[in-house]
Amino acid sequence: MNIFGSHQERIITGIALVIAVLGVGYIDNFWLMWFVLGGVYLSAFKEATKLFGIEKNTLFIYAVGIWLLSAFYPYGDDLFILAGVAYASAVAFNKNILWKNFLPFIYPTAGMLFIFTLYQEYGVISMLWLLVVVAMTDVGAYFVGKSIGKTPFCETSPNKTMEGVIGGIVISTISGTFAGMEIVNVKIALFVSFVVAVSSIFGDLYESSLKRKAGVKDSGNILPGHGGMLDRIDGYLFGSIVMLIFLRGLA
């Protein structure tokens, strides 16, 4: 009898992802982190272009260029701003260039650059903190929602309940506070964990809205049983931006 049942593929992939993430974190090497996050980013970028309905394949070359620059420029998140200025200049120069084609340079590019900058400025422990908050938001929302969830949260994601969302935020805020105390004091850790948990909920909703508009169930199929890369990192793309901004302002 198969002990995994119908979820075997999903469970095996999930275990492999956990081992890979913990392994990269344990090694804690700049170039390894840059390489792994780059692979995640470029996979997510390709999925995003499809969700946005963009067929211009040359955009991928610019995405590669941005990530290459992030290895040498000390403020990776600023590259997102520079990309915006460059693209706005191109649009002003050539009316045939569409603003729509810049969307993948906002999502997921901004979030991935912020994740990498978070690692550069606050170390691997900040990555663990982000991981704990976003993961526990998902886990908490799922189990609380399954247990007592009755009130629909929003139309974008019909399976989410208000009870599940609140439960996930509470559980992740408490869990994240303990992880964050390695970097900041308890008050800041509590606040940052809370706002990151809330933002991760809306990161998930945003990706759900893109999939709904595109008429697809998953953003891709690169991860057996889990769908696409964006399906796995949607909460982190919003959460990383919020975490880095508040750490810089409060820590």
Rounded Cα–Cα distance for residues 39 and 193 (Å): 27
Give the predicted TM-score (pTM) of the model. 0.93
Instruction: Report the pLDDT value the prediction gives residue 2, as an integer from 0 to 100.
Output: 47
Query: Residue 3 pLDDT more than 50?
Result: no
The mean pLDDT of 76-88, rounded to a whole number, is: 92
Query: Residue 186 pLDDT more than 80?
Result: yes
Alpha helices in 52-123 (DSSP H): 59-70, 76-93, 109-122
Instruction: Report the pLDDT value the prediction gives residue 7, as an integer from 0 to 100.
Output: 62
Query: Residue 107 pLDDT more than 60?
Result: yes
Query: Residue 1 pLDDT more than 70?
Result: no
> What are the pLDDT digits (tens) for 189-236?
999 999 999 999 999 999 999 999 999 988 988 887 778 999 999 999
Query: Residue 106 pLDDT more than 70?
Result: yes
Query: Residue 6 pLDDT more than 90?
Result: no
251 contact partners, CB below 8 Å, separation of at least 6: 183, 184, 188
Give the other-Cβ count within 10 Å of 63's Cβ.
23
Count of alpha carbons within 13 angstroms of residue 192, beta-carbon side: 29
> What are the pLDDT digits (tens) for 116-130?
999 999 999 999 999
The mean pLDDT of 136-145, rounded to a whole number, is: 92
Rounded Cα–Cα distance for residues 153 and 162 (Å): 5
> What are the pLDDT digits (tens) for 48-71?
999 999 988 889 999 999 999 999
Query: Residue 33 pLDDT more than 60?
Result: yes
Name the average pLDDT for the chain: 91
- Give residue for tokens 């990498």: 116
* pLDDT cut 70: percent of the chain above it: 97
Min mean pLDDT across 71-85, 124-138, 235-249 is at 71-85
Query: Residue 247 pLDDT more than 90?
Result: yes
Instruction: Report the pLDDT value the prediction gives residue 206, as an integer from 0 to 100.
Output: 95
Contact 115, 130 (CB under 8 A): yes
Query: Residue 98 pLDDT more than 80?
Result: yes
